[in-house]
Amino acid sequence: MKQQVYFHDLDSIDYKECWDLQERLLTSIVDDKMLNRDKEPAHQIPSRHYLLFCEHPHVFTLGKSGSANHLLADENILKAKQATFYKINRGGDITYHGPGQLVGYPIFDLDFFFNDIHKYLRFLEEAIILTCADYGVTTGRIPGLTGVWLDIEDPIRARKICAFGVRCSRWVTMHGFAFNVNSDLSYFNMIVPCGITDKGVTSLQKELGREIDIEEVKAKVLLHMQELFNFSIQTPPNHTLPWIENDSIKSA
């Protein structure tokens, strides 16, 4: 059965504000699932799924399994570079978010898709792989390393174009992917990206030698996600994001 997903393009939004929003959406879905356990099917609260696209001001985030030593900048450098730092509750190590990077946060109840977090990550990766192919950029996976990479057969030249880190609670997901479109890659020099010391990072802009229309990229990623996860976009009512007031919020 094709699922319906509320899609919101939040444009540029503070990282903590968006993290709090994700937490509230996840909690509301989990709470409804708990209530549904005691209800007959005809009286259960309908499932909800959300997909948020955004960009963030310069920020570094460290996952639960990461090392703080992988942040190579001190407080003064962060301040000078107008960057913030958060320890967060996703998997993975340290990564960077900033302007020109497409960040995607699916808040999906996987009970209505498939109960397989590894398959979920592979589908997210595939959406980015297909989008890169739309631009003539060949990407793929490296065994044992989550992400989307270029030159996967060459350990020296291999470089990451999209990072992933997720959290799942009672099969409801949050966090997601960070796709370098027009990113300022110099910020990655301030960290050991994803804790991997022998691989570089790249962006669509760097690979193609020109700035990329990020709105076009969003449309392509969204289409590939719809096809892979078999969902359609549902126009969100005004009350779907009651915890954020942002005049720039757009819906599909």
Active site residues: 194
Burial of 178: CB neighbours in 10 Å, binned 0-12, 13-18, 19+? buried
Pairwise CA distance, residues 100 & 164, whole Å:
17
- Residue among 12, 226, 27, 26 nearest 103 (CA): 12
Q: Beta strands 101-107 and 50-55: pairing type? A: antiparallel
> How many Å from the N-terminal Cα to the C-terminal Cα in the chain?
21
CA 70 to chain centre: 20
Pairwise CA distance, residues 40 & 29, whole Å:
18
Pairwise CA distance, residues 168 & 62, whole Å:
17
In this structure, is the dihedral angle defined by the CA atoms of residues 46, 104, 125 and 26, taken in order, positive or negative? negative
Q: Beta strands 159-169 and 140-142: pairing type? A: unpaired
Two tokens, residue 166: 């997720």
